[in-house]
Amino acid sequence: MLNDNTCSKKPNEKEEESREKNDYSYYDYDTYGKPISSLAELNMLQVNTIDIDNYKEKEIEMIKQQYLGLNKKKKKMQKPSEKFRNIFNFEWDQSEDTSRYDTNPLYQNRLEPQILFGRGYIAGVDVREQRKKNNFYDRLVQNRINYSMKKHTEEELQKKKGSLSQSKTSNVGTNVGTNVGTNVGTNAGTNVGTNVGTNITISQKKNLKTDPDTVNHNRDSYNADTCKDIKHKDDNHNVILNNNIINNDAISKNTNDEFIYKPIINNIIKDVQNKHWSEKKREEMTDRDWRIFREDNEIYIKGGIVPAPIRTWEESNLSPDLLKAIKKAKYDKPTPIQMQAIPISLEMRDLIGIAETGSGKTAAFVLPMLSYVKKLPPLTYETSQDGPYALVIAPSRELAIQIYEETNKFASYCSCRTVALVGGRNAEAQAFELRKGVEIIIGTPGRLQDCLEKAYTVLNQCNYVIIDEADRMMDMGFEET
């Protein structure tokens, strides 16, 4: 436009003359119709038009980057670990181990690190790998439990013995106790002696001075429901004892009444040791499993919190009608783009899917679209005047027809009506279909615009838009339309 304004005027005689004289004062006009009076001004104007062209190109490039993720190739930063991998390569081959077949007896019995303290792991070596071979820590805990249980049982036996002997000597104790209490005449002695009036208390006090441990146990053993309480306290004691060392759930009893310690393995170790993701139920899948699953299927995601992919059609939450249609179409398993795109689209989130040709992209967007349309009330003659519920735009007729056919494979199962608005076909027939009411329109931009301009349809209630091959559409200059 700017060029038109500036250069469309035919040079008149005055201009010709001035050009010969190298006088540009009457040569041309700027964008606002003002005559350009100098060469510098003219140059400025030309530079401006070039700038605007550059700016437009840049803008298109930025739009492409934003919507299609076509980021410029970043300069790959090499990690120091990679950079120096070959310089500081300490890995060596077994055959390089010259000590192995040495005749020197010193090397016959190779020394392994002796783990005497800590948890029995060698620093700098993967603990999970070590744990597979080494049960030092488990054995250590087992020994401690056995030791503490044994000690505790012995104490119990001693307590029982002690209580029996005490009850036998209680009469003797009474006499001795009162005598001691009154004779010594200490406050504590008299108070206890008089208030409680039993020698058991005194004898306990004596014990307290000599052996505090025994007193604690003795105090327990004189509880009302002796046996029951001991058991309960045993348990508690055990819990406290074990809580200090390990989780109590890890202890159980075997048939010989011995305590067995089975460590509770955390999820990561369980994952490594146990099942592959393919053997797990959906609920059992951990984040790590999903990561492996995505890597196995070459699914790469970018963006907010992305729902887990589906592994089978049954996991997809699609309606039974659609599942039936999928079965009929003989789609045994979703393709990777379908695995990840379907759950995202079912959450009604915006999505850009990029996959190679023939990878099942069409079904990946058609199935969630049908699921969305199916949830809405079927269009009546009145409601159909507000247009379709969903719209698919494709850059070429062939592609639009292909999508139309793929959609119809499933649409018939959920009573959705579709129409293909493409050039080269009878426009009146398409207008007739539109007037009857359709839930989904699939079309090329040209014919779609035509139908909208001629008011064959409107898009008043269309909240679901799919643009197939969006990058191609932008290249073709459909962005503005």
Ligand X SMILES: Nc1ncnc2c1ncn2[C@@H]1O[C@H](COP(=O)(O)OP(=O)(O)OP(=O)(O)O)[C@@H](O)[C@H]1O
Residues that bind ligand X (CB under 6 A): 331, 334-335, 338, 355, 357-363, 406
Please state the closest distance from residue 399 (CB atom) to ligand X, in A. Answer: 6
Instruction: Give CA–CA dist 229/223, Å, rounded.
Output: 7
Please state the closest distance from residue 332 (CB atom) to ligand X, in A. Answer: 6
The pair of structure tokens assigned to 80 is 């120091």
Please state the closest distance from residue 284 (CB atom) to ligand X, in A. Answer: 24
Q: Which C-beta is closer to ligand X: that of 265 or that of 351?
A: 351
- The DSSP 8-state label assigned to residue 110 in this structure reads P
Instruction: Give CA–CA dist 332/299, Å, rounded.
Output: 19
Length of the chain: 481
Q: Which C-beta is closer to ligand X: that of 102 or that of 398?
A: 398
Sequence-distant (6+) residues with CB within 8 A of 476 are 395
Please state the closest distance from residue 317 (CB atom) to ligand X, in A. Answer: 16
Please state the closest distance from residue 468 (CB atom) to ligand X, in A. Answer: 7
One-character DSSP codes across 382-430: TGGGG--SEEEE-SSHHHHHHHHHHHHHHHGGGT--EEEE-TTS-HHHH
Sequence-distant (6+) residues with CB within 8 A of 297 are 309, 336, 339
Q: Which C-beta is closer to ligand X: that of 51 or that of 405?
A: 405
Q: Which C-beta is closer to ligand X: that of 335 or that of 461?
A: 335
Bridge-based pairing state of the strands 259-261 and 251-253: antiparallel
Please state the closest distance from residue 474 (CB atom) to ligand X, in A. Answer: 16
Give SS3 for 440. strand
Instruction: Give CA–CA dist 26/39, Å, rounded.
Output: 11
